[in-house]
Amino acid sequence: MLAVIIGPSAQADALSRGTAAFDRGEYARAAQDLSPLAARGNPRALGRLGFMYEHGFGVPQAYQAAFDLYCRGAARGDPFAQAMLGLMFDKGHGVHQDVIQAYKWLNLAAARSQGRARDAYLRFRDAVASKMSRDEIVVGQRLALSWLPGILVNGRVSGQ
């Protein structure tokens, strides 16, 4: 019983430490704190660790690892992971460039965010939309509206 009480508290402490280190740019420390949490499926840890792998901050740069981490975080509803996944699709980093998927994920991220993060995700989404036809935007909107959190199919996030 004691382990059940201590376990979540220790995880919350590690998440707080890892997120604070990430925000300060102390990526090696952030990776150390966030990696065990990401392995257990913590959405915030997955998104931040994905960012570090995408950019090679504190860990070796690895687009496939970043994509996998973003997918897992996005599937669990983390707006940061959703936005970063959308940007990967927009840029074609480690994945086939797909503006419809980029629009979908950025739209979902904006819908689940507030304040400056929401504003940034909306700007990113609108920048992607400027490269799309009306029909492509409609498809992206439909994919976002039909998306259900938590579903992975063959290692990929639902709706892909």
Q: What is residue 152's three-state secondary structure?
A: strand
Give the residue from 134, 62, 139 showing the smallest Cα distance to 95.
62
- The whole-number pLDDT of residue 139 equals 98
Give the torsion through C-alpha atoms of 60, 20, 108, 122, to 10 deg.
-100
pLDDT per residue, tens digit, the chain (160 aa), is 334 343 567 677 889 999 999 999 999 999 999 999 999 999 999 999 999 999 999 999 999 999 999 999 999 999 999 999 999 999 998 899 999 999 999 999 999 999 999 999 999 999 999 999 999 999 999 999 999 887 654 555 554 4
Which CATH number is associated with domain 2-157?
Answer: 1.25.40.10
Domain boundaries, given as residue ranges, for the chain: 2-157
- The whole-number pLDDT of residue 11 equals 75
- The whole-number pLDDT of residue 4 equals 38
pTM value is 0.87
Amino acid at the residue 145: L
- The whole-number pLDDT of residue 158 equals 52
- The whole-number pLDDT of residue 12 equals 76
Q: Report yes or no: 157 and 85 within 8 Å, Cβ to Cβ.
A: yes
- The whole-number pLDDT of residue 2 equals 38
Q: How far is CA 103 from CA 23, 32, 57, 131, in A?
A: 26, 32, 26, 10
Work out the angle at residue 143's Cα, subtended by the Cα atoms of residues 73 and 102, and round it to the nearest 5 degrees. 60
